[in-house]
């Protein structure tokens, strides 16, 4: 099984890549299966049909002033497109329907409602944390004014709290995400080991998996994401459910380093299986 389980396209507000381009690239890359996981980030983004309207964020990108339109996936159009392409490309690739929930403890209710509306459509849900108290990591708004220990402690506590409130997901995504945006360098795993162990134990009891996010290569991280130490701990605690995804927002990165991640799992972590999902149920495959 060669599968990319974290993909974005035009239905994410931070991607312009047509869904069909991603599918064609996946077929050209000889993937057996691909799962789209477009973004939902309640709190900082609204739904396309929210009566209060969409949110515009003023930003400077590459020295130019731009207005970014922040909106979640247009779910009816997204699932209709996925159903259509599933049929069109059925003989070439298996296409699965997922979403990436950028969840926080303060937005759990919105995800409960969303999941209730689309649970029959969904094969797979990623549990991500991209912001805490609506403060984004990638903009440094969350980290600002805190020392490295403070923002790391707060981030893992928020994940632990939120995962006890919300259960409609498949895998914890890029679990050490702060490492991607940490201007203070690598924060030692040992400092957060206890809370990470609690997170992983809870996930295992709850039947949840973790994801290897291969965009770590693109971001120039020295380790995998999550780190090898976290992957080993998950395995040692009895965890078995692992997916691997490129997090590609454009065809250039589709399936990028997925095979490297498989090799690391096998040769360094001692895990010989990865998962795909069908209607939220894991299916195990030898690698
Ligand atoms: Zn993410
Ligand atoms: Zn993503």
SS3 track for 6-69: EECCCCCCCCCCCHHHHHHHHHHCCCCEEEEEEEECECCEECCCCCCCCEEEEEEECCEEEEEE
DSSP state of 128: E
How far apart are the CA of 160 and the centre of ligand 1, in A? 17
Pairing assessment for the beta strands 273-278 and 94-102 based on DSSP bridges? unpaired
Cα 124 to ligand 2 centroid, rounded to whole Å: 13
Instruction: Point out the ligand nearest to the CA of residue 246.
Output: 2
Q: Classify strands 273-278 and 64-70 as parallel, antiparallel or unpaired.
A: unpaired
pLDDT of residue 56: 77
Closest CA to 161 of 126, 124, 133, 193: 133
φ, ψ of residue 176 in degrees (nearest 5): -105, 45
The string of pLDDT tens digits covering residues 90-125 is: 999 999 999 999 999 999 999 999 999 999 999 999
Give the ligand whose atoms come closest to the C-alpha of residue 173: 1
Q: What is the pLDDT of residue 24?
A: 98
- Cα of 37 vs centre of ligand 2, distance in Å, is 7
- Cα distance between residue 253 and residue 262, in whole Å: 17
139 neighbors 70 (Cβ within 8 angstroms)? no
pLDDT score of 145: 96
Tell me, what's the pLDDT at 64?
A: 83
- Indicate whether this model's pTM tops 0.75: yes
What's the sign of the alpha-carbon dihedral 284, 89, 127, 119? negative
pLDDT in tens, 10-32: 999 889 999 999 999 999 999 99
Look at phi and psi of residue 134 and say left if phi exceeds 0, alpha if psi is from -120 to 50, else beta: left
Residue 47 has pLDDT above 80, yes or no: yes
Instruction: State the pLDDT at residue 183.
Output: 94
Per-residue pLDDT tens for 129-188? 999 999 999 999 999 999 999 999 999 999 999 999 999 999 999 999 999 999 999 999
* 3-state SS, one letter per residue, for 164-216: HHCCCCCEECCCCCHHHHCCCCCCCHHHHHHHHHHHHHHHHHCCCEEEEECHH
In the reported structure, the alpha carbon of residue 180 is separated from the centroid of ligand 2 by a whole-number distance in angstroms of 13
How far away, in angstroms, is 57 Cα from ligand 2 center? Answer: 20
Kind plus residue range of the DSSP H or E element containing 276: strand 273-278
Give distance in angstroms: CA of 99 to centre of ligand 2: 9
Cα of 188 from ligand 2 centre, angstroms: 24
Percent of the chain with pLDDT strictly greater than 70: 100
pLDDT at residue 65 is higher than 90: no
Tally of CB atoms within 10 A around 133: 12
Ion ligand 1 contact residues with beta carbon within 5 A: 128
Task: Say what the pLDDT of residue 51 is.
Answer: 82
């Amino acid at each position: 099984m060669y599968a990319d389980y974290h993909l974005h396209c035009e239905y994410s507000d931070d991607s312009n890549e047509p869904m069909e381009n991603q599918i064609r690239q996946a077929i050209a890359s000889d993937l057996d299966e691909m799962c789209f996981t477009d973004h939902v980030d309640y709190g900082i983004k609204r739904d396309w049909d929210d009566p209060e309207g969409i949110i515009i964020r003023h930003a400077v990108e590459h020295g130019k002033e731009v207005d970014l339109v922040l909106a979640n996936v247009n779910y009816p159009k997204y699932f209709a497109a996925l159903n259509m392409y599933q049929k069109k490309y059925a003989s070439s690739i298996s296409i699965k329907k997922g979403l990436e929930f950028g969840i926080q403890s303060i937005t759990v209710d919105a995800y409960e409602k969303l999941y209730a509306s689309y649970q029959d459509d969904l094969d797979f849900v990623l549990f991500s944390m991209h912001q805490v108290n609506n403060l984004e990591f990638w903009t440094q708004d969350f980290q600002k004014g805190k020392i490295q220990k403070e923002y790391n402690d707060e981030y893992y506590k928020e994940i632990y709290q939120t995962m006890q409130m919300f259960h409609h997901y498949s895998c914890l995504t890029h679990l050490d995400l702060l490492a991607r945006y940490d201007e203070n360098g690598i924060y030692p795993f040992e400092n957060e080991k206890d809370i990470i162990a609690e997170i992983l134990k809870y996930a295992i009891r709850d039947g949840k998996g973790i994801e290897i996010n291969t965009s770590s290569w693109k971001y120039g991280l020295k380790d995998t994401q999550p780190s090898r130490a976290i992957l080993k701990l998950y395995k040692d605690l009895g965890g078995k459910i692992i997916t691997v995804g490129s997090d590609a927002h454009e065809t250039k990165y589709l399936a990028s380093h997925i095979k490297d991640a498989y090799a690391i799992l096998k040769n360094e972590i001692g895990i010989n299986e990865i998962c795909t999902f069908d209607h939220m149920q894991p299916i195990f495959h030898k690698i």
